[in-house]
Amino acid sequence: MQENLPLDTIIELKDCMIWQQDHLVLSDVNLSVRKGEFMYLVGKVGSGKTSVIKTLNAHIPLRTGTGIVAGYNLSKLKVRDIPFLRRKLGIVFQDFQLLTDRTVNDNLIFVLKATGWKNRNEIDARIGEVLEKVGMGLKGYKMPHQLSGGEQQRVVIGRALLNDPDIILADEPTGNLDPETSEGIIRLLKDISTTGRAVIVATHNYTIIKRFPARTIKCENGKLVEVKDDEEIDLEIL
């Protein structure tokens, strides 16, 4: 069942507690994210960044509080509705998770067919669109091992865009990339946010945050805290 949010809000968490099995990771979580907003989620390893991402995409059930994501109420979410929620989300992983035994095009065909696309002409057209968008328009015939890390991550971002999601969740998207390549990936994600999609980047990369400043939320001492514009992010946490 879908629920309504204020017109420009795509994510709303209120008084949430986020658990990993029997371990309370974060309490009193309140977060509102607008359509088209680009933001960072920071914090040291184990502070809860990935748990927030997994709660938003329903890999971790929300037991306490209210969470509305792309119109879906996380606390009332039925198992049968989870795939429909996830089609409104694009996920970008640190370790790419591309299928290594098939080409870039075939990786993307696999995703589209798994989410109900049947018309081959429409599939080919959509793949062409997303690869062009991420600067990989001429690389569809290549195998993942023939691509650099940055190119593989661009393909992953293209994969995340296939079903025209409302939200992109990027978990350490520059974690395995060199600084110059990382900048290109963040530029691409920021560009995607200008098309009306909310983009949340969980990251350790302090240099990227300084280079491309944006709203920043910090996981610290079991809480989610907004970093003020004039506040230096403590290097010790990153």
18-22, 123-127, 190-194: range with lowest mean pLDDT: 18-22
pLDDT, residue 45, reads 84
CA dihedral over 38, 43, 45, 51, signed as positive or negative: negative
Q: How confident is the model at residue 176 (pLDDT cuts 50, 70, 90)?
A: confident
- Please answer whether residues 59 and 89 qualify as being in contact, where contact means their C-beta atoms are separated by less than 8 angstroms: no
What are the boundaries of each domain within the chain?
36-58+88-237
CA distance 162 to 119: 14
Using one digit for the tens of pLDDT, what is the confidence trace for 27-76? 999 999 999 999 999 998 888 899 999 999 999 999 899 999 999 999 99
Q: Where are the beta strands (DSSP E) in the chain?
A: 9-20, 23-34, 38-42, 64-69, 72-73, 89-92, 167-171, 198-202, 215-220, 223-227
Instruction: Produce one character per residue of 37-68: b if its CB has 16 or more CB atoms within 10 Å, e if not.
Output: bbbbbbbeeebbbbbbbbbbbbebebeebbbb
Q: pLDDT category, 235, cuts 50, 70, 90?
A: very low
Task: Domain 36-58+88-237: give its CATH code.
Answer: 3.40.50.300
pLDDT digits (tens, 9 = 90+) for 76-94: 999 999 999 999 999 998 8
The residue type found at 35 is K
Query: pLDDT tens, 103-119?
Result: 999 999 999 999 899 99
- Residue 59: beta bridge partners? none
What pLDDT, on the 0 to 100 scale, is given for residue 126?
Answer: 96
